[in-house]
Structure 1
Amino acid sequence: MRAPQTCVAILRIVVGAWFLKAVWTKLTLAYVAGVVPYPAVSARFLGFHPKRVAEFAADNPVGWYKDFLQTTVLPHASTFATLQAYGEVVVGLGLVLGLLTPLTAVIGLALALNYGLATQWMSFGQQGFHLLLITSMVIFVVTGAGRVLGLDALLRRRLRAWWLRWLV
């Protein structure tokens, strides 16, 4: 029966769409030589990111994570803002398309764990939402969620090397 796999695929697509929605205001179009467009992190997000990280760190009860935010993320806020924005694009597109789903879900898991650690002390809603994201990412990794309604099924047939097949 394929109904369970189809349900997981629908969940994968919805979670991917959420990631794409989340990155919508973080990117803008920039141009190489004034001609070739590419997605760049918006100045608005680069300015907002350090303030938000400082808020997450302020009363965070997880000592080691608070230290990480204050001593590593804040001094390099533009780098982490860029990693976050492009990471959300990769996760969103990968999940919606079912492309390299295990790898995409591991990246999404890293993002969701960080979001959860940063915000878990703020409200019960934050705890529950990020726990659902983390659980969803684990399910996508272990079930081969991109093999139904996704491009991973096509890639899996073409990849012969065992060490590449784990990607799909």
Structure 2
Amino acid sequence: MVGWTLALADNHPSPTYGRAIRRLIEPNAAWFPYLILAAELAVGLGMVLGLLTPLALLVAIFLNLNYIALAGVRPRDISVNKAYQCEQGQNWTMLVVEVTLLFTGAWAAFSIDSLLGLFSS
């Protein structure tokens, strides 16, 4: 995962974004994949259980925006990510769902948040 991410960063059409990703990931290559895994697991559990749902949705939106920004644009060297146009459909779909859930206050019913009275208006 780290090698592919760094290759995408090196070939990103926005050199500034590519350098920022490289500076973030390269010195932390040993544990960065585990951070992504933990974040995705926490988001999934938060949304399924309805625990700290607004926070889980904000983290999910952040993750999906970064996935789209990194892998959803045409790289300078197309051989790095030939499927850049079609592989991001799931991220756009999840992003629409997450924004909808966030702005409709979907955690207000049938969630641990509602049972504990968290985030109630």
Same fold (TM over 0.5): yes
2:54 paired with 1:102: yes
Aligned length: 112
Aligned counterpart, 1:53:
5
2: CA distance, partners of 1:78 / 1:110? 22
Aligned counterpart, 2:104:
143
| Letter of the 1:138 counterpart | V
RMSD over equivalenced CA pairs, Å = 2.1
Unaligned runs of 5+ in 1: 1-48, 160-164
Aligned counterpart, 1:120:
72
Larger gyration radius, structure 1 or structure 2: 1
2: CA distance, partners of 1:101 / 1:151? 9
Aligned counterpart, 1:18:
none
Q: Is the 8 A contact 1:50 1:77 kept in 2?
A: yes
Q: Is the 8 A contact 2:10 2:19 kept in 1?
A: no
2:106 paired with 1:154: no
2: CA distance, partners of 1:155 / 1:65? 40
1: CA distance, partners of 2:109 / 2:85? 33
2:42 paired with 1:90: yes
Where is the strand percentage greater, Structure 1 or Structure 2? 1
> 1:130 Cα shift?
2.0
2: CA distance, partners of 1:99 / 1:125? 32
Superimposed CA distance per residue, residues 113-166 of structure 1 (whole angstroms, 9 cap, x where no aligned partner): 11111111242223433222222222222112222332222122xx5xxxxx36
Q: Is the 8 A contact 1:116 1:126 kept in 2?
A: no
Unaligned runs of 5+ in 2: 74-80
TM-score norm. by structure 2 comes to: 0.78
2: CA distance, partners of 1:149 / 1:77? 39
Aligned counterpart, 2:22:
70
